[in-house]
Amino acid sequence: MQLDRIVNFHKTIGDKTRIRIISLLKEGPLHGQAIAGKLGLKPPTISHHLTKLKQIDIVYQRRDKNTIYFYLNKDKLERMALEITRIGGNEMSEKFEITDGEKVKVIRNFIDGNGKLKSLPAQRKKKLILLEYMLRGLEHGKTYNEKEINEHIQQYHQDFATIRREFVMAHFMYRQDGIYELNPVEMWPV
């Protein structure tokens, strides 16, 4: 749910230690012990906070020999921070809940009893309904590598390459350096 993601982001940021970590990483990557040292806390504590920061995807890590360096994802931080200003008005419209009569009909026609996609409709409008349907479970703001996207699509159809391409072409998601992410709903096709 969209709401939970925003709540979780702020809950995570709303901690002195974690903001201090963010502040440190803003200057450049650091390894765990270094952070612990600078903040006067024990390594397990830092580990604890870093996993939380990784969960919301604003910190990522890269290993070099024995030590793991932690990086701040500044772009993501900025995008997430702004989301609170964009939420609501009409009480959190759940884009993924397809209850609209027409849509339900189209989906019933093209999804079989096992939840698999029979075929992708040629008609643009119907195709978009199916594509949107198959996005369920993917989260806004989260990043996925190609393998994850493929696996997700295979729930519905074995030809993940085609459908993945359709996702991008229809602007449901975008790709950069092999990393996929959902586009904001404003960019989705009508």
* Chain positions contacting DNA, by CB under 7 A: 11, 15-17, 31-33, 41-52, 61, 63, 65-68
| 52/76 with CB nearer DNA | 52
Q: Which two tokens stand for residue 72?
A: 């701040």
- Report which of 27, 113, 102 is spatially closest to residue 71, judged by C-alpha positions: 27
Query: 4 touches which of DNA, its own copies, none (CB within 5 to 8 A by kind)?
Result: its own copies
Rounded least distance, CB 143 to its own copies, Å: 19
36 binding its own copies? (CB under 8 A) = no
Site string for its own copies, 70-99 (x = CB under 8 A): ----x--xx--xx-xx-xxxxxx-------
Of 65 and 108, which has the nearer Cβ to DNA? 65
Q: What token pair was written down for 105?
A: 């009909």
List 174's β-bridge partners, or say none.
181
Neighbours of 2 (CB within 10 A): 17
The DSSP code sequence of 21-81 is HHHHHHTS-EEHHHHHHHHT--HHHHHHHHHHHHHTTSEEEEEETTEEEEEE-HHHHHHHH
Which residues make up the interface to its own copies (CB under 8 A)? 3-4, 6-16, 19-20, 22-24, 26-27, 74, 77-78, 81-82, 84-85, 87-92
